[in-house]
Structure 1
Amino acid sequence: MKTATIYNSDLHFEHQQWKSELAFWKDELISFNNRLKELVSRWSDKDILMQLEHFQNEFILHGGVIEDLQETIEEHEMNISKHSDNHESMDVAMVKKHVQFREKMETQRQIYADLKKEFFRFLTKYM
């Protein structure tokens, strides 16, 4: 059985992609929160205000998740740089961590996409 070699540069490239995606999400959350402010000033109905609070809470939570993900990427980048002095390729444990983080990113990507769909449906109804 042939063993695949995973290079530090490949992991770094994926980290850069993730960092860009997380930065985009962060910018989107700013826009979404601005939209919430507009809606709060338009509506006084308690049910709608409760839904707005729900979205505000979700956006705050997601912002925290983004920061955690960014921190994890930075930690992994530091580990890569420590190992890159000796090797161009990663050891099995580091690659396993990377794959687990990739799965975490994929899960978060789906959670965020679902939240956006829910928010856009809400905006369509109440804007």
Structure 2
Amino acid sequence: MEVSAQTSDIEQISNWRDEVIATRESIRSMRSQLEQLARHKTDDESLAQIEHFQNQFICQEEKADELRHDLKQSSKKISNNGQPAILHDDRPVDDYDVMYDRMNTFRKLYNELQDEFEKFRSFS
């Protein structure tokens, strides 16, 4: 029974990792779209918004990289029957529930950023 739970957790973590990778690609696409918009916008308000999104994309990509790494470590820990992987005090990877919460927070922040960027694009 325990092996089945481990396998299920590993599969879920793998799905999360795939989602994080896809999200990172989506952020790259939005960054490219932003670069196109920046070529045509010269007013101060638009430039401030462009800078805001550039910063947000960088932050979100950094979080995606951290999360992808930590999901990999979490999967390794589960695969090694609980043997320690590389753990970070500020980013625990040894607790499935913590990773679940981090993934939900990551999704929420990404969705908010995506919605905000879509609104900006539609007014540009």
TM-score range, shorter chain: 0.7 to 0.9
Q: Provide Cα deviations, 1:49-107, integer angstroms capped at 9, x if missing partner.
A: 1100100100000000000001111111111121189xxxxxxxxxx710111011111
Answer yes or no: is the 8 Å Cα contact 2:38–2:50 preserved in 1. Answer: yes
Percent of pairs with identical residues: 23
Unaligned runs of 5+ in 1: 86-95
Answer yes or no: is the 8 Å Cα contact 1:43–1:49 preserved in 2. Answer: yes
Higher relative contact order (CA 8 A, sep 6+): 1
The equivalent position to 1:42 in structure 2, one of 13, 24, 40, is 40
The alignment's C-alpha RMSD in Å is: 2.1
Provide the TM-score with structure 2 as the length reference. Answer: 0.85
Q: Which amino acid is 2:30 matched to?
A: F
Per the alignment, residue 16 of structure 2 pairs with: 18
Answer yes or no: is the 8 Å Cα contact 1:8–1:84 preserved in 2. Answer: no
Q: In structure 2, how many angstroms separate the alpha carbons of the residues matched to 1:55 and 1:84?
A: 40
Per the alignment, residue 62 of structure 2 pairs with: 64
The count of residues paired between Structure 1 and Structure 2 equals 114
Does residue 81 of structure 1 match 2:79? yes
Bigger-Rg structure (1/2): 1
Runs of 4+, deviation exceeding 4 Å:
none
Q: Which amino acid is 1:22 matched to?
A: V
Say which structure is richer in helix: 1
Q: In structure 1, how many angstroms separate the alpha carbons of the residues matched to 2:17 and 2:123?
A: 33
